[in-house]
Amino acid sequence: MSRLFVPVLLLASWGALLNCAFAEDNGQGTIQYLSLDAPAGMSRAVIVQGLPLVHTRQLLPLDRDGKLVGEGSATRQIEQTLANLESVLKDSGSGMDKLVRIHVYALSTAIVAEFQEHLARRGLRPAITSVLTPLPVRKALVAVDAVAGGTGGGDAVALKRCPSVAGEDSCADAAVLPRGSIAYLSGQPDEGSLTASATTRAMSGLMRTLEHLQLSPKHVVHVKVFLRPVTSAQEVLRDVQKFFPGQITPPVVFVEWLAAVPIEIEMIAQYPVASRPAKGVEYFTPPEVRPSNTFSKVALVHSDRQIYLSGIYAREPSRGEPQGVFVFEELKETLAKAGSDLRHMAKGTYYVSDDDAARWVDRLRPRYYDPTCPPAASKLMVHGVGQPQRTMTVDMIAVPAGK
């Protein structure tokens, strides 16, 4: 074998790894990892087609008995968190090799960087979004939630409890979303103090939206809570559970935000339809809600092909308009490379860590977005956006253009 032929084979093998295909019982599903110029341990975009999707709850560095592992050690906590994620995915019919997206929640950018190094050593390249936030468990340094390709051909949401991971029997560690249409419900904020009534009002608004869509709590796959302070997570969880009577609660994630409003909740749900519409994504505004030209209250994804983008940052440290323009131009460019565009976005999250970044998100969305089809979205003031000297990041879920 010639010396030239060896690197060619290596490159071909690496290319196969970046465009992994998984055979499913009910057809052929694929996951494609578009690394583009991303560093090791992540992809700029991940495209999943024809697979059920496993959504996990927020997983922390706890042992089977619920005790924190590796107090003060980021390395040990990352290892335990990844071990817990691996167990939950395995029990849900998935695996680390089918990761699509990971959200990393950490106390510092150094921990975020080390977490990505651990992924790289495992040969993994999911889409990644990182946020700096205190965590619900005292002295925890890192946590994750994830989306991964699943298996099986069930028609209903399957809620999973993993016995090898610490948790509550009344709360799911993961939910398997069957193939088919998906509803992304934008964050539902509520005014007032962080009390049971504030959480209840926010959840009640989401449940009314589900009713407009002819859905029920059994269709809910994932609940994400932005709250202040995060130490109230258990109290809020108890209130969220009341909306899922007669079943275990779907996976829940908690992020501390710095908004004046103490709580906002967003949701993902299965959206069964008798026949899939021709459009890859449609948008819905409940009748009691005033429409917006920069975000939709609900995005209904019908395409069997979804595109997950990693959090986008300015390439160089910057602020104000230069930072914002780079992020939105990069969003447009990455969508194009993945086969989509700014008119086919389904769900966006805008994380900002100061008022200047928040203002530029508001100013730039009308400049870039078609007002008739903005994505479902949440804009969130957080402690940090996961990279040093940056104050803005945007992640996105989209469908192919022209679908």
Tens of pLDDT along the chain (403 residues) come to: 333 333 333 333 334 334 443 333 334 799 999 999 999 999 999 999 999 999 999 999 999 999 999 999 999 999 999 999 999 999 999 999 999 999 999 999 999 999 999 999 999 999 999 999 999 999 999 999 999 999 987 899 999 999 999 999 999 999 999 999 999 999 866 655 555 588 999 999 999 999 999 999 999 999 999 999 999 999 999 999 999 999 999 999 999 999 888 899 999 999 998 777 789 999 999 998 888 999 999 999 999 999 999 999 999 998 999 999 999 999 999 999 999 999 999 999 999 999 999 999 999 999 999 999 999 999 999 999 999 999 999 999 999 997 5
The whole-number pLDDT of residue 13 equals 36
Q: Which domains does the chain have, with CATH numbers?
A: 181-272 (3.30.1330.40)
The whole-number pLDDT of residue 196 equals 56
- Cα gap 163→167, rounded to integer Å: 8
The whole-number pLDDT of residue 350 equals 97
Q: For 254-276, b where at least 16 C-beta lie within 10 A, e where not — what string?
A: bbbbebebbbbbbbbbbbeeeee
- 318-to-73, 123, 329, 337 alpha-carbon distances in Å: 31, 31, 15, 25
- Cα gap 358→236, rounded to integer Å: 26
- The single-letter code of the amino acid at 93 is G
φ, ψ for residue 351, nearest 5 deg: -95, 130
The whole-number pLDDT of residue 191 equals 55
φ, ψ for residue 242, nearest 5 deg: -60, -20
Helix axis angle, 196-212 to 233-241, nearest 10°: 40
